[in-house]
Amino acid sequence: MKKQLTSFINGIKDKTGVEFAVFDLSGQYLAGRVTQGERAPSNLDGVFQDKTADKTYFPITFNGQKVIARLIGSSQMERSYCAFINELASKRKQTADSRLDFFQTLLFGSLTPSKIKELSNKFKVSDKPLFALIINFPKNKRTQVQEFLDDYVSQEDFYLNLSDDSCLFVKYLDGTVEDYSYSLEYAKFTYRELQEATGVLARIGVGGQVDGIKDLSLSYSQAKTTVYLMDVLKSKDDVHTYKEYVLIKMLDELPKEKLKEYLALLWSEQAIELFSDDEMMQTAETFLENNLNVCETARRMYLHRNTLTYRLDKIENLTGLNLRQFNDALTFRLITIISKILR
Same domain, 200 and 145: yes
Domain membership of residue 108 (yes or no) is no
The answer to whether residues 237 and 271 belong to one domain is no
Which regions in the chain score pLDDT beneath 50? Answer: 94-95
Structure confidence at residue 245 (pLDDT): 87
In a domain, residue 18? The reply is yes
Specify the CATH number for the domain of residue 290. 1.10.10.2840
Residues 156 and 242 in one domain: yes
- pLDDT of 266-277, one tens digit each? 777 777 777 778
Amino acid 92: pLDDT:
61
Do 278 and 231 share a structural domain?
Answer: no
Q: The pTM is what? A: 0.67
Q: Count of domains in the chain? A: 3
Residues linked to residue 239 through DSSP beta bridges, in sequence order: 204
Label the pairing between strands 55-62 and 65-72. Answer: antiparallel
Residue 34: inside a domain: yes
Say how many residues make up the chain.
343
CATH for 77? 3.30.450
170, 265: one domain: no
Q: What is the dihedral of CA 29, 34, 39, 41, to 10 degrees?
A: -100
Q: Which pLDDT does position 131 carry in this prediction? A: 95
In a domain, 101, yes or no: no
Q: Are residues 62 and 84 in the same domain?
A: yes
- Its domain, for residue 36, covers 2-90
Is residue 98 included in any domain, yes or no?
no
121 falls within a domain? no
Q: Residue 244 falls within a domain, yes or no?
A: yes
Confidence (pLDDT) at 138: 93
Does 76 map to a domain? yes
Does 229 share its domain with 181?
A: yes
| SS3 annotation, the chain | CHHHHHHHHHHHHHHHCCCEEEECCCCCEEECCCCCCCCCCCCCCCCEEECCCCEEEEEEEECCEEEEEEEECCCHHHHHHHHHHHHHHHCCCCCCCCHHHHHHHHCCCCCCHHHHHHHHHHCCCCCCCEEEEEEECCHHHHHHHHHHHHHHCCCCCEEEEEECCEEEEEEECCCCCCCHHHHHHHHHHHHHHHHHHHCCCCEEEECCCECCHHHHHHHHHHHHHHHHHHHHCCCCCCEEEHHHHHHHHHHHCCCHHHHHHHHHHHCCCCHHHHHCCHHHHHHHHHHHHCCCCHHHHHHHHCCCHHHHHHHHHHHHHHHCCCCCCHHHHHHHHHHHHHHHHHC
- Residue 178's pLDDT is 66
Q: Could you tell me the CATH number of the domain that includes residue 221?
A: 3.30.70.270
For 153-164, the pLDDT digits (tens) are 888 899 998 888
Contacts for 185-194: CB closer than 8 Å, 24+ residues apart = 187/133, 187/239, 187/241, 188/239, 190/133, 190/135, 190/152, 191/238, 191/239, 193/148, 193/152, 194/135, 194/145, 194/148, 194/152
